[in-house]
Amino acid sequence: MEWGMANRLAQLIQSDGKCLFMPIDHGYFQGPTRKLEEPGKTLEPIMPYADAVFVTRGVLRSAISPANSKPIILRVSGGTSMVGADLANEGITTDIEDVIRLNAMAMGLSIFVGTDYEKESLLNLSRLVNEGEKYDIPVMAVTAVGKELEKRDARYLALCCRIAAELGARIVKTYWCEGFEKVVKGCPVPVVMAGGPRTETELEVFEFVHDGMQKGAIGVNLGRNIWQNEYPVAAIRAIRAIVHDNATPKQAQEIYDTVKNE
Ligand code: 5RP
């Protein structure tokens, strides 16, 4: 691997081989999502506990200080909205020159396997990898399910992750699911887990993050279950302990309960 690629990946994946990415990119199709109406304010208290931030160029420029930032994974796909015809119909939104100017450590793009736009989104990924590799900028592929959350099963996610890796993604972001080991085993590049919509309890998140880490994920790219929590700092510190310190779900809950009462 070239020095530039290795250096960028090392800024994202920490020396223990693990990572906690903080996605605040949801507005690119959801608009001002709850608790992300002012992304800069939401991010400020939790950013110290994140290893990188996943964000669009618009929010990056307007809400994150260049003098006080974590490594950036730039969301470079979009062109759809919650009220539009089809969330899967995404294109590449950001030129590679802008990615370089913004000093991004990686680019992130969604793929929509099994949809009417499967081919377009997979060719978008291939195009992005072709551009990124010229400059040693890694691509994180996001295995998106749009509004069809029930798609999150091991067979489907294993298919998506493997295809993303085959097309050149250096990291794949997917969802945790029952039988998650099948997803990781079939994917030759590192896998990180998204959180999905807010769960009823924190413990549910701690349990699936812990299970996914045991089964080979290298970390998380997990947003709403942190910044929509009433105690986001407690939530991120608990999840960080699972990712980087091998904490059990019970220990994570204790960290959450302690930090929320500070
Ligand atoms: C949304 C994304 C998010 O980065 C991803 O879904 C992770 O966020 P969450 O944990 O809130 O699901 O790709 O476009």
192 is written with which tokens?
A: 């990180």
The pLDDT of 67-88, averaged and rounded, is 96
Please identify, by atom number, the ligand 1 atom nearest to the C-alpha of residue 224. Answer: 11
Is residue 202 situated within a structural domain? no
**Whether 195 contacts 224, CB under 8 Å:** yes
**What's the pLDDT score for residue 138?**
98
Model confidence pLDDT, tens digit, residues 201-211: 999 999 999 99
Residue 176 lies in a domain: yes
Place of tokens 């994202």: 12
Residue 212 lies in a domain: no
Task: Indicate which CATH number applies to the domain containing 16.
Answer: 3.20.20.70
Residue 107, token pair as written in the block: 């680019």
Q: Is the pLDDT of residue 194 over 80?
A: yes
The pLDDT-based confidence of 140 (bands split at 50, 70, 90) is: very high
236 located within any domain:
no
Question: Using CB atoms within 10 A of its CB, is residue 259 exposed (0-12), middle (13-18) or buried (19+)?
Answer: middle
Cα 130 to the center of its chain, rounded Å: 21
Ligand 1 binding residues, C-beta < 6 A:
23, 25-26, 54, 142, 194-196, 221-225
The length of the chain is 262
Say yes or no to pLDDT of 149 above 80. Answer: no
Q: Are 229 and 248 in contact (CB under 8 A)?
A: no
Within a domain: 178: yes
Would residue 92 count as lying in a domain?
A: yes
Ligand 1 centroid – CA 149 distance (Å):
12
pLDDT at 1: 85
Per the annotation, the verdict on 35 as an active-site residue is no
Residue 141 lies in a domain: yes
What spacing in Å lies between the alpha carbon of 175 and ligand 1's midpoint? 9
Domains in the chain: how many in total?
1
Query: What residue numbers bound the domain in which 66 lies?
Result: 3-196
Neighbours of 17 (CB within 10 A): 10
Question: What does the pLDDT average to over 28-39?
Answer: 97
Q: Which helix (H) or strand (E) holds 77?
A: strand 77-78
DSSP summary character for residue 244? H
Which tokens sit at 157? 């996610």
Q: Per the domain annotation, does 257 fall within a domain?
A: no
DSSP state of 20: E
Q: Which tens digits make up the pLDDT trace of 211-251?
A: 999 999 999 999 999 999 999 999 999 999 999 999 999 99
What is the Cα gyration radius of the chain? 17
Best of 19, 24, 142, 229 for a ligand 1 pocket test (most atoms within 8 Å of beta carbon): 142
User: Of 35, 70, 151, 173, which residue is the catalytic one?
Assistant: 173
Instruction: Give the model's pLDDT for residue 64.
Output: 97
Model confidence pLDDT, tens digit, residues 40-77: 999 999 999 999 999 999 999 999 999 999 999 999 99
DSSP secondary structure letter of residue 21: E
- Ranges of beta strands (E only) in 24-71 are 52-55
Could you tell me the pLDDT band of residue 148, with boundaries at 50, 70 and 90?
Answer: confident
